[in-house]
Chain A
Amino acid sequence: MRSDLIQLSYLAAAVLFILGLKGMSSPRTARRGIMWAGVGMLVAVLATFFSPHLSNYLLMFVAIAVGGGIAYVAARKVAMTDMPQMVAIYNGMGGGAAALIAANEFLHFGGSGLTMGASFAVLGAVGALIGAISFSGSMIAFAKLQGIIKKSFLFPGQNVINLVVLAGAVALGAFVILQHTGHLGGPVGPTLGLFFALALLYGVLMTLPIGGADMPVVISLYNALTGLAVGFEGYVLGNAALIVAGIVVGAAGTLLTQLMAKAMNRSIGNVLFAGFGAKGGQELTGAVEGSMKEMAPDDAAISMAFGQKVIIVPGYGMAVAQAQHKVWELAKLLQEKGVQVKFAIHPVAGRMPGHMNVLLAEAGVPYDLIYDLDEINGEFPTADAALVIGANDVVNPAARDDPGSPIYGMPILDVDKAQTVLVVKRGRGAGFAGIENKLFYADNTRMVYGDAQDVVGKLIAGVKKV
């Protein structure tokens, strides 16, 4: 009876998770969605406390109190611009937990001298491998986005070394499986330890060469991997809630990863096995004609204030300068002057898809002023001005018409079709991907140099004077 109730609670939790994720795929129901999922989690955790034959309650409470406290405070304190790395670190923790569950199960069976069923040993080991890779990989992703690790580590033969390490981990995993199904003897502990060490090492090696621009794809991939690891460990534990939630996230995360890679015109394999710019062959220097034309913020303000329609294109530069509040202030001022203002967001602007949306939402921009690439691209020819703030590669026309460019084929925002393009940029250098941008040399482009926060402040002052 009691275990029936527990199973029923797990079923309810699984249903709530799915409804929650469904809710989160529409802006109107998104907040309700996360609450549904939250209720599901609460139900599942409470039910677990009543599981039969459970011990170590004190340890459990301490772990939950300490972990919950740390995570809650950190999540509340962190700045909105740092959200991507927080997702990375929390995701890594989940992967780590899945790997530890596997370690525990193997030790439990190994210690009692019992053998495991083949399917349990195999899925347990696969989940452990994936979970451990997701853990160490996510930590490196966090360190890179946080700026703790600044360089991309590239050396010849890297892919071969990585492959050898992965092969070693897989071989040891097979060894662990054979030991636990009774096909091989020998001490269990050292094999298991070495297996985890190699899996963790592979996560580190795999993530180190990947550049910051590709990090969103990688975090999304690790998110999907953690989901799979959780699902597999759920099978080992015979827990349906873990299986359903884990596999649902694994599938959804895989789809999300594909969508993101596609928006950048790269395959997942390309992101993982070739550091960006590592090819380095296509030099574009000298191919650009014309010169960059600078414009003072006051003049830029006037050209916007007297227009009918202004489209604002934010990029990572806006996030770095924390300029989103000022940008919204500017947009409101322009609206008061009778200018129609829209925000255009490229799928991969910033460090994660939707990163810009979150920042603009934080500043108070209503989401119905924010448009996707497909919705807005037809409107640029009718815009009097396009204001590009700290975006570069996502507005580079080379993606449209230069087959030699590394970003050729990536969908871009067609800002160059606006009557005037105002580009707010910190300096004259190339963008994150190190690619020269012809947009900056176009006849209808004016450059406004400076930190996004400063420049937008000056634009606000300029519009007020009109």
Chain B
Amino acid sequence: MITGFAALYIFILAAFVGYEVIGRVPVILHTPLMSGSNFVHGIVIVGAMVALGAADTTPERIIGFLAVLLGTINAVGGYAVTERMLEMFKSSKDRDAAKGGGDA
């Protein structure tokens, strides 16, 4: 288990990482980044699996099942939507390269 000050350190350092990592993001990527970070908190699926895995009564199983279900929707949907958005980001250079030289 991670407890006490070790946990506090992780919390604080992770918060700084989060703040720094997107500090210089251009506006063009705001929506994809929001969608991407939405995917990242889909990690909740792992917690849901652990909770369901430890469930030993019917109410716990129902709640655990729902948690895994919602967590999966978050992760899978978040990934698919982000990927779809980012698929479309190409510069005119990429496009010309794809055309094999191109007319610019």
Contacts and interface: CB of A to CB of B under 8 A. Distances in A.
A234 B25 CA distance: 27
Nearest to A68: B76
B81 A245 contact: no
A267 B64 CA distance: 38
A361 B84 CA distance: 11
Contacts of B61: 56, 59
Contacts of B17: 18, 248, 251
Interface string A61-73: 0111011101110
Contact of B14 (A53, A251, A352): A251
Contacts of A107: 57, 59-60, 63
Nearest to B68: A63
Given A59-B52, A86-B77, A30 B18 contact: no
Contacts of B11: 231, 235, 243, 247
Interface stretch (A253-261, A282-290, A301-309): A253-261
A25 B39 contact: no
Interface in A68-100: 68, 70-72, 74-76, 78, 80, 83-84, 86-87, 89-91, 93-94, 96-98, 100
Contacts of A366: 90-92, 94-95
Q: Which of A17, A22, A30, A105 has the most CB of B within 10 A?
A: A30
Main SS at interface, chain A: helix
Interface in B11-57: 11, 14-19, 21-57
A250 B18 contact: yes
Interface residues of B, number: 86
A103 interface: yes
B38 to A, nearest CB: 5
B81 A20 contact: no
Q: Which of B7, B11, B24, B89 has the most CB of A within 10 A?
A: B11
Given A100-B70, A105-B51, A366-B95, A249 B31 contact: no
Nearest to B57: A111
A241 B42 CA distance: 11
B37 to A, nearest CB: 5
Contacts of A246: 41, 43-44
Contacts of A370: 28
Given A68-B76, A98-B44, A248-B21, A361 B10 contact: no
Contacts of B19: 251-252, 254-255
Given A60-B53, A93-B77, A97-B67, A247 B36 contact: no
A393 interface: no
B39 A234 contact: no
20 contacts: A21-B33, A41-B42, A44-B46, A48-B49, A49-B49, A51-B49, A56-B55, A64-B45, A64-B72, A66-B72, A67-B71, A76-B84, A83-B31, A87-B31, A87-B35, A223-B38, A256-B34, A345-B28, A358-B88, A372-B28
